[in-house]
């Protein structure tokens, strides 16, 4: 059998190169180097210890909206400088389950000691979004490396806009009308049941109410600025699709979660000491890659509050 012939519909006229699903924007104040064709960029020419001028900040935000993951190298920041930069993205918020960093209630840490097994870090093995069960799940995470392994320990990301955009029209129509129940209510109870050596490192107390730990959100989420849609159905904290049985829900979810694994939606960031990374927690999935052993990995972070997720029928252009 011969290979299928290329039909005209497969060929698009040459135009502006596309990266992260959109034409490459121009930048005058900052250097922007995409990490992959799918998402992520490295930004140069910015010192985050100082306030950013208006034009530089506008370009950083333009890069964030398109690439969803922005990386700055060699940023030796104090916790206060880290928080000040985070506030450009919105209000810093706490999380119910993530361990806090030192005396900073509004910072969290991801820490694995050299002698510890992989499982001390929550959800290390699956692409996930942080805390989708909250009424307003985090907009973004601002994370900085204090200590990282010499080799390995990267963080990988998957662009949820691209996953949605590559679906068929039939599947898009089905998902556009679906809602998901996310719940974080049983994280602690589940952890308690595990043998001590398998337990996750979780925060011991928090001030969130039970009601705040379970919410219904749209399966397709719309970007509040751009109107671009993205898949917002993923396995961590997932209970079911509203109106669907658990069995039906799991079957569809397994298919969707599988799509996010495809390499052509990904970028992967290699950490170095003082690398600072901001990722959009609404429109990407992420996971740490625990492919290292006998080395310490210590990252600190702030979490910025997001909007209540907008579904396809909620979104209106800003102007
Ligand atoms: Fe996470």
Average pLDDT, the chain: 91
Residue, of 190 and 227, whose pLDDT is higher: 227
Q: Examine the pLDDT at 275 and tell me if it is beyond 80.
A: yes
pLDDT at 210: 82
CA of 130 to the centre of ligand 1 (A): 5
CA of 189 to the centre of ligand 1 (A): 19
Share of the chain above pLDDT 90, in %: 76
pLDDT at 212: 84
How crowded is residue 216: how many other Cβ atoms within 10 Å of its Cβ?
15
Residue, of 243 and 184, whose pLDDT is higher: 243
> Is residue 315 very low, low, confident or very high in pLDDT (cuts 50, 70, 90)?
confident
Domains along the chain with CATH numbers = 18-304 (3.60.130.10)
pLDDT digits (tens, 9 = 90+) for 161-219: 999 999 999 999 999 999 999 998 887 777 777 777 667 777 777 777 888 889 999 99
Q: Examine the pLDDT at 298 and tell me if it is beyond 80.
A: yes
pLDDT at 211: 83
Residue, of 114 and 204, whose pLDDT is higher: 114
Q: Examine the pLDDT at 8 and tell me if it is beyond 70.
A: no
Q: Examine the pLDDT at 311 and tell me if it is beyond 60.
A: yes
CA of 83 to the centre of ligand 1 (A): 19
pLDDT at 14: 75
Distances (CA, A) of 2 to 5, 10, 117: 8, 18, 50
Model's pTM, two decimal places?
Answer: 0.91
pLDDT at 171: 98
Closest CA to 284 of 30, 68, 65: 68
CA of 13 to the centre of ligand 1 (A): 39
CA of 222 to the centre of ligand 1 (A): 21
């Amino acid at each position: 059998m011969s290979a299928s012939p290329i039909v005209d519909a497969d060929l698009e006229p040459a135009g502006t190169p596309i990266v992260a699903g959109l034409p490459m924007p121009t930048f005058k104040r900052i250097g922007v180097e995409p990490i992959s064709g799918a998402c992520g960029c490295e930004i140069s020419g910015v010192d985050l210890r100082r306030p950013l001028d208006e034009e530089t900040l506008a370009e950083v935000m333009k890069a964030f909206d398109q690439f969803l993951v922005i990386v700055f190298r060699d940023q030796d920041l104090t916790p206060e400088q880290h928080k000040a930069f985070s506030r450009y993205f919105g209000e810093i918020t706490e999380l119910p389950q993530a361990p806090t960093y030192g005396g900073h209630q509004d910072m969290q840490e991801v820490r694995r000691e050299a002698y510890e097994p992989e499982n001390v870090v929550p959800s290390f093995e699956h692409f996930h979004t942080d805390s989708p069960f909250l009424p307003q799940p985090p907009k973004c995470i601002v994370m900085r490396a204090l200590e990282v392994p010499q080799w390995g320990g990267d963080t990988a990301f998957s662009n949820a806009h691209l996953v949605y955009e590559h679906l068929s029209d039939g599947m898009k129509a089905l998902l556009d009308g679906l809602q998901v129940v996310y719940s974080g209510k049983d994280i602690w109870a589940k952890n308690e049941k595990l043998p001590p050596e398998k337990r996750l490192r979780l925060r011991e107390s928090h001030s969130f109410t039970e009601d705040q730990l379970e919410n219904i959100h749209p399966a397709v989420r719309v970007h509040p600025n751009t109107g671009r849609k993205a898949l917002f159905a993923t396995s961590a904290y997932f209970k079911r699709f509203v109106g669907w049985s658990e069995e039906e829900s799991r079957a569809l979810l397994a298919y969707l979660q599988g799509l996010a694994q495809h390499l052509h939606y990904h970028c992967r960031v290699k950490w170095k000491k003082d690398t600072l990374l901001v990722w959009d927690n609404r429109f990407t999935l992420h996971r740490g890659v625990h492919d290292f052993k006998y080395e310490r990995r210590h990252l600190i972070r702030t979490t910025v509050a997001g909007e209540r997720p907008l579904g396809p029928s909620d979104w209106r252009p800003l102007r």
